[in-house]
């Protein structure tokens, strides 16, 4: 029998974790693993987790998580051993389940805050969460097939793989109506809301382009795609859509967080107010479909509430991203540059929307100067500067409705003038180092002296006109996940220049 190796382990573990909230949480896990390697080139493995958490109630406490993997090092087969081109080649495939129980400890309990003071008394109770005792583990089934390779004596190496992630019973803080009574302007309850799938390619390639004498040039490229679809959402015609916060909609069959917006159609040349495309409200009432009639209507507050179209192809998550890294060394000099890119997503520039309509004492964009409607017939970029966005609307029959409100009722009731692609390519880091000749260092009684320059985020190419295409939205976790492309005023990625002097004694 040829050589083979079996390894196995069983682990039972318990974990008591104290959370910063002062609560307590108990976690017990059992873990078994079996790896089998045959002739050093065929590998299979299996593992099994059985995990319980005190965060869930008794009937929903335990989760089973299985993982299987297989690999074949083809380059160790007799027909490829000593192949001059292929130094290493491995095909691999895996299936792995992981569980997520990272939810608030209040998820399964109705709780009260105690700071509601009334009169000169001690604190009163305030309802802060409603229990959902039926929440359980979120499980991700991850499938991955791919190959790792190394060619031409290590000059070229990389991996190619395709992944599918099925997230089942997603844990989510579902917005619930204000009438639920929770003392919060955006009350939520935890629930396993549905299933979602992510899938895509991951490719990584590293090359040594030149390695000759004192000069070396290395290159690395990575590229990944992601396609996302919500495959199930519990509840009939269920949607996650909180118009108070933003225009993002999540529903079954579409990608997570697409934009529901009115369609901007320019400025009325005679009235100086904004226009949007009309939606066929009768058809919507009858079928739920949102289709345009072909007419243009004023973008009044009431029209912005109803004439909203689903942009299911415009979502909040990037569909591709990656990086491109080059490094050069020549004698004592080294230079490296990291370029990263991302795209396929859309960003709504709330900061710009908030600073081009005249409705308060606040900073306005310079771009409106000279570009707003002033006289009948103007073909303007921005509407007339009417305080509080009130306009006299010219009806089709020539009559006029005076003083109509155009300020949107809710944050999420907006038109798409400020929706833009989030694609960008950016010089993430550029660094240059020079080691002084050893003789110079030694003459100063030092081992080494290195001069350096590093620049971060030096240069970005993007069509996005907001503060920066890499948006960071602080606040509630759920808003960060889905709402970070609803971009208000925020700190963009900082540009930085660092000069360094390293001395080693």
Q: How far is the CB of 413 from another protein (least distance, A)?
A: 8
Q: How far is the CB of 391 from another protein (least distance, A)?
A: 13
Distance of alpha carbon 414 from alpha carbon 354, whole angstroms: 11
Neighbours of 19 (CB within 10 A): 11
C-beta of residue 470 within 8 angstroms of C-beta of residue 340: no
Cα-based angle 247, 259, 356 (whole degrees, multiple of 5): 60
Nearer to another protein, 30 or 217 (CB): 30
C-beta of residue 316 within 8 angstroms of C-beta of residue 257: yes
DSSP structure string for 120-153: SSSPPPEEEE---TT---EEEEEEEEEEEEEETT
Nearer to another protein, 49 or 426 (CB): 49
Nearer to another protein, 134 or 503 (CB): 134
Q: How far is the CB of 420 from another protein (least distance, A)?
A: 26
E-strand stretches of 299-423: 309-315, 320-330, 333-343, 346-349, 390-394, 400-405, 419-421
Q: How far is the CB of 134 from another protein (least distance, A)?
A: 7
Place of tokens 């006299």: 392
C-beta of residue 407 within 8 angstroms of C-beta of residue 301: yes
Q: How far is the CB of 233 from another protein (least distance, A)?
A: 13
Place of tokens 């935890």: 190
3-state secondary structure 6-52: EEEEEEEEEEEEECCCCCEEEEEEEEEEEEEEECCCEEEEEEEEEEE
Nearer to another protein, 219 or 385 (CB): 385
Please state the length of the chain. Answer: 505
Q: How far is the CB of 359 from another protein (least distance, A)?
A: 9
Q: How far is the CB of 41 from another protein (least distance, A)?
A: 18
Task: Tell me the three state secondary structure of residue 349.
Answer: strand
Nearer to another protein, 124 or 463 (CB): 124
Nearer to another protein, 204 or 274 (CB): 274
Among 340, 335, 327, CA closest to 453: 335
Nearer to another protein, 412 or 455 (CB): 412
Nearer to another protein, 41 or 405 (CB): 405
Distance of alpha carbon 382 from alpha carbon 393, whole angstroms: 16
Q: How far is the CB of 476 from another protein (least distance, A)?
A: 15
C-beta of residue 302 within 8 angstroms of C-beta of residue 242: no
Nearer to another protein, 124 or 475 (CB): 124
Q: How far is the CB of 29 from another protein (least distance, A)?
A: 10
């Amino acid at each position: 029998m040829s050589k083979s190796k079996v390894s196995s382990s069983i682990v039972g573990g318990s974990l008591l974790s104290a959370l910063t909230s002062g609560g307590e949480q108990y976690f017990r896990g059992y873990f078994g693993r079996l790896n089998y390697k045959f002739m050093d080139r065929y590998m299979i493995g299996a593992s099994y987790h059985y995990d319980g958490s005190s965060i869930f109630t008794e009937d929903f406490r335990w989760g089973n998580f299985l993982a299987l993997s297989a690999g074949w090092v083809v380059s160790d087969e007799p027909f490829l051993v000593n192949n001059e081109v292929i130094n290493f080649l491995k095909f691999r495939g895996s299936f792995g389940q992981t569980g997520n129980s990272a939810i608030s400890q209040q998820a399964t309990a109705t709780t009260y805050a105690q700071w509601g003071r009334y009169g000169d008394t001690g604190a009163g109770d305030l309802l802060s969460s409603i229990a959902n005792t039926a929440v359980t583990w979120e499980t991700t089934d991850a499938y991955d097939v791919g190959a790792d390779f190394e060619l031409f004596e290590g000059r070229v190496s990389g991996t190619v793989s395709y992944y599918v992630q099925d997230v089942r019973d997603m844990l989510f803080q579902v917005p619930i109506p204000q009438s639920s009574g929770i003392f919060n302007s955006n009350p939520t309850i935890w629930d396993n809301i549905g299933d979602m799938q992510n899938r895509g390619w991951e490719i990584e390639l590293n090359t040594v382009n030149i390695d000759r004498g004192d000069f070396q040039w290395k290159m690395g490229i990575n590229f990944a795609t992601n396609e996302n679809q919500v495959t199930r959402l519990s509840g009939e015609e269920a949607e996650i859509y909180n118009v108070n916060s933003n225009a993002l909609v999540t529903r079954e069959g579409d990608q997570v967080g697409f934009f529901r917006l009115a369609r901007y159609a320019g400025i009325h040349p005679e009235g100086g107010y904004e226009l949007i495309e009309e939606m066929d409200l009768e058809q919507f009432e009858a079928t739920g479909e949102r289709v345009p009639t072909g007419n243009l209507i004023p973008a009044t507050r009431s029209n912005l509430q109803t004439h909203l179209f689903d942009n299911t192809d415009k979502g909040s998550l990037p569909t591709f991203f990656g990086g491109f890294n080059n490094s050069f060394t020549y004698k004592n000099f080294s230079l490296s540059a990291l370029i990263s890119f991302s795209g396929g997503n859309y960003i709504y520039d709330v900061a710009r929307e908030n600073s081009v309509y005249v409705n308060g004492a606040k900073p306005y964009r310079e771009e409106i100067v000279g570009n707003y409607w002033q006289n009948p017939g103007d073909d303007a970029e921005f509407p007339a500067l009417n305080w509080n966005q009130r306009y006299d609307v010219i009806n089709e029959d020539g009559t006029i409705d005076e003083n109509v409100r155009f300020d949107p009722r809710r944050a999420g009731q907006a038109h798409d003038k400020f929706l833009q692609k989030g694609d960008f390519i950016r010089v993430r880091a550029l660094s240059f180092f020079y080691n002084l000749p050893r003789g110079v260092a030694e003459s100063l009684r030092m081992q080494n002296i290195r001069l350096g320059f590093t620049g971060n985020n030096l240069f970005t190419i993007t069509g996005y006109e907001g503060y920066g295409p890499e948006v960071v939205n602080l606040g509630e976790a759920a808003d960060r996940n889905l709402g970070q492309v609803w971009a208000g005023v925020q700190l963009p990625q900082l540009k930085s220049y660092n000069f360094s002097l390293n001395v080693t004694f």
